[in-house]
Chains A and B, each alone.
Chain A
Amino acid sequence: MKLKWAIIGALITVIAVLTGCEPLTVLDPKGPQAQTQADVIWISIAIMAFIVITVFVMLIYLLIKYRGSKQPDSYEPPHIEGNKVVEAIVVGIPVLIVAVLSVVSVKSTYEVEAKPEGYGDKEPLVVYASSSDWKWHFSYPEQDIETVNYLYIPTDRPLEFKLYSYGPITSFWIPQLGGQKYAMSDMITTLHLGADAPGEFMGRNANFSGEGFAENTFNVKAMPQQEFDDWVKEVKQTAEPLTEQKFDEILEPGHLGQLTFTGTHLDFMPPPEGHHGGHGADDKKNSHSSHDSTSSEQATQEEHEKEAAEYEAHND
């Protein structure tokens, strides 16, 4: 059968390419989480290849052996209902394979959902990554700086991304550092990553979010902690402060280049977490009317507004 050979040929090509000169992004991990995932992918490819080859061999054998043109006209195929032993094998082997894969899957899922291993007990760097149409905002609360559409990270340190969205569901993905996770407007999701070596990586929103989706990407640069600290220092000296007004402008739908600010929008526009009923994206519009449910919240709100006003004054 031509098809079978075509498929086998295609498979060989695929494998050749997979192992060939330029490694595929996902299979070229630069961090512990991505490494775990690449290992799982390779294990599953191996097991799946075994299944595919078994089916192909059986199919080709049967088609050659029992094709009608080979058999005498008088041949009447027998009536066979089934066989307990054969069926037990056919059930048993897949059950075993699925059991093995389940163990791998569960173990690795817990791994990638936890702080990456191998960095001792270093404190993770927390970055709030929020998306708006069609940009990424990276807030470093510890360093008190914010960037748009680019991300600098230290190597050899756990990274903890807090994800949320000002608008549609997006998905934060840096393939070489690890798998993606959704950013949504009514809750914060947490993604644990880590980078082992300095380098530049592609990052993007992987979940369709409308017209500007294709270009919704960002650059990631990993560097040693020292270099990272220098960068933070430089930003603090040179960058403009982020005001509420400026942030509102940035939130407008569209594409922007890379921007850098001191201060973060977390101060005047807190992320959805801790907000009953999830106001998320509309905090901005509702902050004056909707947050008067508790007096303490109102107080913080006023404080933030004062801060924002100060920033604005400073700006002028």
Chain B
Amino acid sequence: MNINKTQPLEYSTEQGRLNILGFWIFIGAEVMLFATLFASYFTLFDRTGNGPSGSEIFEITPVLIETLLLLTSSFTIGLGVHAMRIGNKQAMMSFFIVTLVLGAAFLGVEIYEFVHYVNVGAGLQVSAFTSILLTTLGTHGLHVTFGLFWGIMILMQVKKRGLTPQTANKSFIFSLYWHFLDVVWIFIFSFVYLKGMM
């Protein structure tokens, strides 16, 4: 196998470079996916039927907690990738674990939030607005859930196999994914919650 020593570990093999480019393109597709959800959300935003509107159900506290958790996790995974680049496996794993824990906490708060919506009469089936709201949030939440399991797989491999070009490549791609989810959340925070509460 050709290993290029002048590049960071995750870029060092040909296949690794292809994987990273491929993943960037995948993120392009994900951008379109969320863009479509946002467009639909804006279209259906005021079509509340007999159900509640956004300003009636949104609560600022859980949303702020979620935002804080996810933003911090994006920062810690950045630190993790930095640790990986300097070859510190232990630190890298620790940062990744912190990231995943923060992600799990985010998910916990989000589940609380969903239960709250259902309790105040804003379940999935109530109106076009609640359908698109919960679908948009839910799609992001599912992405986070998937990310949690994916992250655990990668951690297990790093632990077992050490920092090889392959595991480094996977970890790096995972960090791209995690940052992307953070960016999506910032949009959700601004355009769903803040705009909805105003």
A290 interface residue (CB < 8 Å to B): yes
Distance in angstroms between the alpha carbons of A292 and B136 in the assembled complex: 30
Q: How far is the CB of B32 from chain A (nearest CB, A)?
A: 26
Whether A293 pairs with B47 at a CB distance below 8 angstroms is no
Q: Would you call A241 an interface residue if the criterion is a C-beta within 8 Å of the partner chain's C-beta atoms?
A: no
Majority-rule SS of A interface residues: loop
Interface centre among B46, B47, B50 (most CB of A within 10 A): B50
Shortest Cβ distance from residue A19 to the other chain B in the assembled complex, whole angstroms: 46
- Give the number of chain B interface residues (Cβ < 8 Å): 7
| Contacting residue for A290 out of B47, B48, B50, B128, CB 8 A | B50
A277 to B48, alpha carbons, bound, how many Å? 6
Which residues of B are found within 8 Å of A290, using beta-carbon distances?
A: 49-50
Residues on the A chain within 8 Å of B128, using CB: 277
Residues of A within 8 A of B46 (CB): 277
Query: Is A278 close to B, CB under 8 A?
Result: yes
Q: Give the docked Cα–Cα distance between A278 and B49 (Å).
A: 8
Collect the chain A residues with CB atoms within 8 Å of residue B47's CB.
277-278
A276 CA to B48 CA in the complex, in Å? 8
Q: Which residue of B lies closest to A186 (CB)?
A: B47
Q: In the bound complex, how far is the Cα of B50 from the Cα of A279, in angstroms?
A: 10
Most chain B CB within 10 A, of A276, A277, A290, A293, is at A277
The 8 closest A-B pairs by CB, nearest first: A277-B49, A277-B47, A290-B50, A277-B48, A278-B47, A277-B127, A293-B50, A277-B128
Q: Pull 13 A–B residue pairs with CB atoms less than 8 Å apart, ordered by A.
A: A276-B48, A277-B46, A277-B47, A277-B48, A277-B49, A277-B50, A277-B127, A277-B128, A278-B47, A279-B49, A290-B49, A290-B50, A293-B50
